[in-house]
Amino acid sequence: MPKKTPFRRFLIRRYKHLSEKNFVFILSALVGLLAGLAAVILKNITFTIESLLSKSIAFSSNQLYFILPVIGLLLVYLFVKYVSKKPLEHAIPSVLYSLAKKSGILQRSKIYFPLIAAPLTVGFGGSVGLLGPAISSGAAISSNLGKLFHINRKTRTLLIGCAAAGAISSIFKSPIAAIIFAVEVFSLDLTFVSLLPLLIASVSSVITSYFFLGDDLLFNFNFSDKFEIKDILFYAVLGIGTGLASIYFTKMYFAILKFFERFKTAFQRLIIGGLAIGVMLYFIPPLYGEGFGFINNLLAGKHLQALGKTPFDAFNDNIWVVIALLFGITIFKAVAMTTTFAAGGVGGIFIPTLVMGSALGNVVAKVINNIGLGFNVSETNFTLIGMAGLVAGVLHAPLTAIFLIAEITGGYELFIPLMIAVGISFSVKKSAIDYTIYTRELSEKGQLLTHNKDQSVLTLMTLDGIIETNFIVLKPTMTLGKMLHEGVAKSARNLFPVVNEDQQLVGILLLDDIRDMMFDQSLYDSTLVQDIMNNPPDKIHYKKDSMQKVMQKFQDSNAWNLPVIDNGKYIGFVSKSKLLTAYRRQLINVSS
């Protein structure tokens, strides 16, 4: 009998005296606290690196921008090569994959690896954000807590959603938007069962942030320009603009990653990517790091401070030069961000999306105000709504975008223009591209959980649990007599796979197909299995076909059994009855 350790005794008492629901509430508060703490540590390490660099190096010369990103990426490269010893995955896609295919199990190393690699990337000028790594670290914390306390997959998924909400709540001090983000991006069901733990985690995390960082906000401005009904058309134009920019952002992301695939080694990608980032920073300094200072300056109406020192300072008196430079940030933020990832950097895309949106919104407002037609719109409002439009389009998270800006502004005065611009932006992007940067690869492989119950159930199912292998295998050169004696007589099945010497499936034999010749002994020696076998109506390719595709093959072929092959070699069969039984069991589990 195993010895009862203090922790084991705690678990026994928990099962006896604490309900599962109340225990989940306690865990959600703990997850929120730890996720918030991870976000605080991440921000403080990054700020310390940036502060040390700014104090020890005079940034009066933009030439220094050439070397800093390379140094940061080199440090990440050395960390990956000698410490983690395996590539660091993109934060949120790796969490989504874990939820779909690994029952929410994340390695313990993912708790602290992002806390090291992301500050090195961002602190030295990598043009990415910290939210993704914060979510990744918090998700790993919640996953390992789930393993420690032996909770089930569904609860572990909920706690990972709590970690994501906690990270956003801590960084932005926006607990409502944090809850909605977890629901929209992680496809959690918004029921009372999930809402209360998300709320507890979000509040716990924001309190942690206030405790360690005080009441300082990321975006410091006084909201004064109210919404005016006459500006509705302009907000619609901005919505179209942010929708098109979201399409550009997504396409550019995958195009640059594909371009860097041609370089054979990680070190080559590091050097080329680092120098490319340095060139962009030389001409457009606001691309350095996350970009919160840039957003705050735009919100304060200080566009020259937002742009910083550039080679074009002599022309900054011309508003159209300023507009061109701001539009350059809109274009090149996506390029700089993706190049940072392609070169081996670690970070997130949420905050770069906000930066790009703020620049685009400010550009649209400045164009409207300076085209000489007598129009006058609020540049601050357009900056905020541009941020929301990009978040809605790029991440397919319209409600997160609306409530994030509403909480940032401390009210709902901009709710109507937010809904207009966000709705249009989301519709434009969704009609052109149905996936996001987070979801494309997982969606193509059928490994993405969504709010579609049928698709989510199939995604959570695995082929291994429903493959049947108790079939008697026939050889194509077997005679009919030998097949009847060694196959039919010894099998309870009416289906037989026909396999050659290399274990490759060459056909199948149904008992119904030979029922007329079974008792004709004159055929026993002259008829071979290969003469009477048939091709299967379809084949299931192991580890290649998603469960969605497996279900579709059964539907299209109208078969009751389909063979499973791995690189041409026979493994077993999947029956429709066993597939539907497993589907129903998983559906009950998901819906409970």
According to DSSP, residue 263 is labeled S
Strand partners, 570: 565
401 touches 422 (CB < 8 A): yes
Distance CA(452)–CA(448), nearest Å, equals 10
Q: pLDDT grade, residue 220 (50/70/90)? A: low
The answer to whether the Cα torsion of 246, 248, 253, 254 is positive or negative is: positive
Could you identify the residue written with the tokens 């809850």? Answer: 179
**Is the pLDDT confidence value at 532 over 70?**
yes
Task: Considering only CA atoms, give the Rg of the chain.
Answer: 29
Burial code (b: 16+ CB inside 10 Å, e: under 16) for 350-387 equals bbbbbbbbbbbbbbbbbbbbeeeeeeebbbbbbbbbbb
Q: pLDDT grade, residue 1 (50/70/90)? A: very low
**Is the pLDDT confidence value at 197 over 80?**
yes
Confidence at residue 528, expressed as pLDDT on a 0 to 100 scale: 87
Q: How many CB atoms lie within 10 A of CB 552?
A: 14
Q: pLDDT grade, residue 52 (50/70/90)? A: confident
Distance CA(401)–CA(238), nearest Å, equals 15
Q: Which residues contact 524 (CB under 8 A, 6 or more apart)?
A: 479, 480, 481, 484
Q: Which residues contact 488 (CB under 8 A, 6 or more apart)?
A: 496, 511, 518
HEC string for 116-176: HHHHHHHHCCCCCECHHHHHHHHHHHHHHHHHHCCCCHHHHHHHHHHHHHHHHHHHHCCHH
Confidence at residue 545, expressed as pLDDT on a 0 to 100 scale: 86
Least confident of 10-24, 135-149, 497-511, 549-563: 10-24
Confidence at residue 447, expressed as pLDDT on a 0 to 100 scale: 60
Distance CA(444)–CA(231), nearest Å, equals 40
573 against 218, higher pLDDT? 573
Average pLDDT over residues 571-589: 84
Q: How many CA atoms lie within 13 A of 77 on its CB side?
A: 20
Least confident of 293-307, 423-437, 507-521: 507-521
Prediction pTM value: 0.81
348 touches 167 (CB < 8 A): no
Distance CA(237)–CA(420), nearest Å, equals 10
How much is the mean pLDDT over the chain?
86
DSSP 534-561: B--S--EETTTS-HHHHHHHHHHH--SE
Distance CA(513)–CA(533), nearest Å, equals 9
DSSP 31-61: HHHHHHHHHHHHHHHHHHHHHHHHHHS-TTS
Q: Which of 568, 565, 561 is nearest to 542 (CA)?
A: 565
* Vertex 383 angle, CA 377 and 386, to 5°: 105
Q: Report strand pairing: 505-510 vs 569-575.
A: unpaired
Average pLDDT over residues 281-309: 86
Average pLDDT over residues 509-531: 81
Distance CA(244)–CA(180), nearest Å, equals 24
Report the share of the chain in percent with pLDDT over 70. Answer: 92
Average pLDDT over residues 294-315: 84
Distance CA(304)–CA(366), nearest Å, equals 13
If DSSP codes are grouped into helix, strand and coil, which group holds residue 575?
A: strand
354 against 54, higher pLDDT? 354
Average pLDDT over residues 250-263: 93
Q: In angstroms, how far is CA 551 from the centroid of its own chain?
A: 25
**Is the pLDDT confidence value at 478 over 50?**
yes
**Is the pLDDT confidence value at 116 over 90?**
yes
Average pLDDT over residues 510-518: 80
Confidence at residue 233, expressed as pLDDT on a 0 to 100 scale: 94
352 touches 337 (CB < 8 A): yes
Average pLDDT over residues 175-202: 84
Per-residue pLDDT of 390-436, as tens digits, reads: 999 999 999 999 999 888 877 678 889 999 999 999 999 999 998 88
Distance CA(287)–CA(325), nearest Å, equals 12
- Entry field: residues in the chain: 592
The residue type found at 492 is A
Average pLDDT over residues 49-78: 75
Confidence at residue 450, expressed as pLDDT on a 0 to 100 scale: 61
Confidence at residue 62, expressed as pLDDT on a 0 to 100 scale: 56
Phi, then psi, of 475 in degrees rounded to 5? -105, 145
Choose from 83-92, 188-197, 542-551, 582-591 the range with maximum mean pLDDT: 542-551
Is residue 491 classed exposed, middle or buried when 0-12, 13-18 and 19+ CB atoms within 10 A define those classes? middle
Q: Which residues contact 36 (CB under 8 A, 6 or more apart)?
A: 166, 167, 169, 170, 204, 205, 206, 207, 208, 209
Q: pLDDT grade, residue 10 (50/70/90)? A: confident
The residue type found at 286 is P
Q: Which of 134, 155, 182 is nearest to 34 (CA)?
A: 134
Confidence at residue 591, expressed as pLDDT on a 0 to 100 scale: 62
CA torsion, ordered 382, 388, 393, 396, to nearest 10 deg: -170
Confidence at residue 60, expressed as pLDDT on a 0 to 100 scale: 47
498 touches 529 (CB < 8 A): yes
Domains of the chain are: 6-213 (1.10.3080.10), 229-451 (1.10.3080.10), 457-591 (3.10.580.10)
531 against 9, higher pLDDT? 531
Report the share of the chain in percent with pLDDT over 90. Answer: 39
Confidence at residue 451, expressed as pLDDT on a 0 to 100 scale: 57
Q: pLDDT grade, residue 56 (50/70/90)? A: low
**Is the pLDDT confidence value at 517 over 90?**
no
According to DSSP, residue 456 is labeled H
Distance CA(161)–CA(168), nearest Å, equals 11
Confidence at residue 592, expressed as pLDDT on a 0 to 100 scale: 57
If DSSP codes are grouped into helix, strand and coil, which group holds residue 527?
A: coil
The answer to whether the Cα torsion of 10, 11, 13, 18 is positive or negative is: positive
Average pLDDT over residues 156-185: 90
Confidence at residue 390, expressed as pLDDT on a 0 to 100 scale: 96
Average pLDDT over residues 77-105: 82
Confidence at residue 77, expressed as pLDDT on a 0 to 100 scale: 92
Q: Which of 205, 170, 212 is nearest to 31 (CA)?
A: 205
